[in-house]
Copies of this chain bind each other. A is one copy, B any other.
Amino acid sequence: MMLVSRCLRLVLHDVLTPSCLHHFLLEFVGTALFLSASLSAVLIRPDLRSAASLTNQSHLSVGPESGAAPVCPLHVVLVFGLSVAMAALCVGGAAHLNPAVSIAMALTLRLRLWRAVLYVIGQLLGGVASAGLLMVLTGDVMPAVNQVSSGVQLHQAVTVETLVTLQLVLVVLKTTDISLPAAAAPLLVGLAVSLGHLVAVGATGCGMNPARSFGPAVVTLDFRNHWVFWAGPALGACLAALLNDLLLQPRWRCPKDWW
């Protein structure tokens, strides 16, 4: 009992520093910023149905149940990649903005566990805040919820999510290990996010970031297959941590280092 309270006090002592709270705020602001921008691009769109009726372009309206035009996949790819890059640049290049990244950082002992937990909470709150903002603004955030596409099976979806998170976390770990020119790290992460969306936008809408999937799911209370968007990224982050530290940039030199 005493031990627990002592541990807790130590943790709180570490957590309640100005620096740590500042990082918590940066994660919250950064995630809210990039998700607000990305989700706005998907949700606030011209009503093509009414525009079509004006100009008589009836063959462009895509059915009576959807008034807005479908978004071009490349548009989605670019807006997510760029918004993550710009948000990471604005809040400082060291922000994670993604629970999967924080998990990998904690797993490879680059970040203390308590800090990682705090960062993840900040990211999830940021995701919920921006989804809530868009709910208030547009009244419907269903098109922004990550869903497994029709014709794509669950094990395919999980594999794709694992793969895209794997490459994202590998890039993030690399950018923290080599010295880069200023502003290069956010841009590289943005490119990795773009690549992830290029790969997965057709299959799952591309989660790759549990905070991004969690926000719209909470606001719409639509948790169908939601576990996919936690299991895939978590698995990808673990694989990336192992692959990077054991094989790509090994922390050991010869087999003897293992015992």
Contacts and interface: CB of A to CB of B under 8 A. Distances in A.
18 contacts: A40-B160, A41-B199, A45-B151, A47-B149, A47-B151, A47-B152, A48-B151, A50-B151, A55-B63, A55-B66, A73-B75, A74-B75, A79-B195, A86-B170, A86-B192, A92-B249, A137-B155, A138-B156
A198 interface: yes
Q: Is the interface of A mostly helix, strand, loop or mixed?
A: helix
A164 interface: yes
Contacts of A67: 151
Contact of A82 (B57, B63, B83, B198): B198
Nearest to A59: B59
B44 A167 contact: no
A37 B254 contact: no
Interface residues of A, number: 89
A140 to B, nearest CB: 12
Contacts of A26: 248
Contacts of A225: none
A231 interface: no
Contacts of A191: 82, 85-86, 187
A180 B78 CA distance: 24
Given A138-B156, A195-B82, A150 B55 contact: no
B248 A37 contact: no
Contacts of A195: 37, 79, 82-83, 86
B45 A203 contact: yes
Nearest to A186: B188
A170 B90 CA distance: 6
B79 A199 contact: yes
A202 B46 contact: yes
Nearest to A249: B92
A141 interface: no
Interface in A218-257: 243-244, 247-250, 254
A248 B91 contact: yes
A41 to B, nearest CB: 4
A202 B44 contact: yes
Interface in A136-158: 137-138, 149-152, 155-156
A159 B171 contact: no
A7 interface: no
